Amino acid sequence: PDAKSYPVATAIAVILAIVIVLLCAYALFDFAGMADWAQDNPGKAVGIAFACMWILMLSQVPLAAVTGLIGIAAGALFIGFSPFFSAFATESAGLLTNSQIATLPLFLMMGSFAAVSGLSEDLYELAHVLFGRFRGGLALATIGSCAGFGALTGSSLATAATIGRVAIPEMRARGYSPALATGTCAAGGTLGPLVPPGSGPIIVFAILTEASIGQLFVASVGPAILAVLLYFLTIMIYVRVWPASSPVAVKALEQGHLRATLRRCIPVGLLVFGVMGGLYFGIFTDTESAAVGAIGAFVIAIWRGKINRRTYLAVMVETTATTAMVYAMIIGAQSFSFFVLVSSLTESVTAFIGSLGWNKLALISVILVGYLLLGTVMESFAMMIITVPIITPLIVQIGYPVVWWGIVMMCVVETGMIHPPFGLNVFVLKGITPDVPMWTIYRGVAPFVVSDLIKLILMVLFPAITLWLPGTMHH
């Protein structure tokens, strides 16, 4: 859907962006003087760099270009162009030649083949058969199908849009309120990046932090199950408090229909179990599991008769375009991370936090609140790219594992996909249902935002929800 247009704000941002370009030109002519000033005033230099980054993003400059340009320009001021480019080139070459990065296009390919196979309709039908006999059954079915489809696509927006197009017309035709119908689909979309194994954001986090993709996937299982159960509970409470939001269930479980639907969905279960089981039992490496997923999804698409020359080329083009975009973001993030390193920003933040004397529970709470506030003005992927190099070392230093933080951060970032005023999933649902007011959609997602906050509290208080399962993995 088209985003809202703010011409005055955009014009101001563009003017400020031009000012930034002129400052960069001046810096090139007087680089030595600017470098001396930056090294004498590192705090001010870092502040100006972040302000420039915000202005460029408000000017709708692509994220990869923003992080790359700011990282290179600001980083070079601290150590010089030649040393910075030499180190940055070495790090980037090592990153892009690491076999782990090949998992990204393979899992993207798996999701694309799953999308063209028409699996979303079958998953929704299976969930409908299982939950249709309960009050609010279609809403429960929507959450279940979002979890199943998200396991293959790993995308919040794609999950919300794909399942929303199937579920919302059905729910509204059966008498569900627009708030419950749209709110359920928007919230269900956030399960996409959390339910393994297709999560692109988890893979990007693993690449940026050099964490194990397999351990992150396995660590996300517990929180994903918790998220689904809390969403189920939210819907049950919702329809009890507001009974007019859903009709009384009348559909009984039909064994014949259930068996037929299960047969159509068995390949999906085998694919997810094959990829995750191979990782958990140490049969596959991260890259091998991604290859198994891509080949398995391709075989399912052929078996279902959904592959022809046109759809195959469409999948390849989509995978290539998305991979190129994400790789550009990763390289930009690498540049920005190196700037954070040479500017000693993380050390300064750590020293400041240490001087406060807070315990780690209070500190992590403040960080999560900061993420929630940041999510009101920034898209979730940009938030992750920019904050990972700054916050992750701090989290590790206070005693939390990288794997735990990766999943917790994914959860809080995805909450930003549904809470106002940004909430990209809400805008996606608005595009699918243009007759439903934005306020109605936000009213529908509000109970799910509360559910997400409860999930975050439980994950912080009980880290075993995330860490127990990866601790039992076979290597």
Domain extent listing, the chain: 1-97, 99-475
Phi, psi of 379 (to 5 degrees): -65, 145
C-alpha to C-alpha distance for 401 and 395, rounded to whole angstroms: 8
* Token duo for residue 130: 């299982």
Q: How confident is the model at residue 19 (pLDDT cuts 50, 70, 90)?
A: low
Q: Is 442 within 8 Å of 210 (Cβ atoms)? A: no
Amino acid 454: pLDDT: 96
Amino acid 7: pLDDT: 60
**Three-state SS at 462:** coil
Amino acid 468: pLDDT: 94
Q: Is 377 within 8 Å of 424 (Cβ atoms)? A: no
46-52: long-range pairs with CB below 8 Å, 24+:
46/74, 46/343, 46/345, 49/73, 49/74, 49/339, 52/20
> Which DSSP category does 212 fall into?
-
Amino acid 153: pLDDT: 79
Angle at which helix 309-342 crosses helix 81-96, to 10 degrees, equals 140
* Token duo for residue 165: 């197009």
| Among the ranges given (3-12, 263-272, 276-285), the one the predictor scored with the smallest mean pLDDT | 3-12
What mean pLDDT do residues 293-311 have?
Answer: 89
Cα separation values, 109 from 66, 106, 207, 301, 308, Å: 27, 5, 18, 12, 16
C-alpha to C-alpha distance for 70 and 52, rounded to whole angstroms: 8
| Among the ranges given (137-141, 240-244, 417-421), the one the predictor scored with the smallest mean pLDDT | 417-421
> Which DSSP category does 199 fall into?
-
Greater confidence, 71 or 98? 71
Residue 446 has pLDDT above 70, yes or no: yes
C-alpha to C-alpha distance for 183 and 240, rounded to whole angstroms: 16
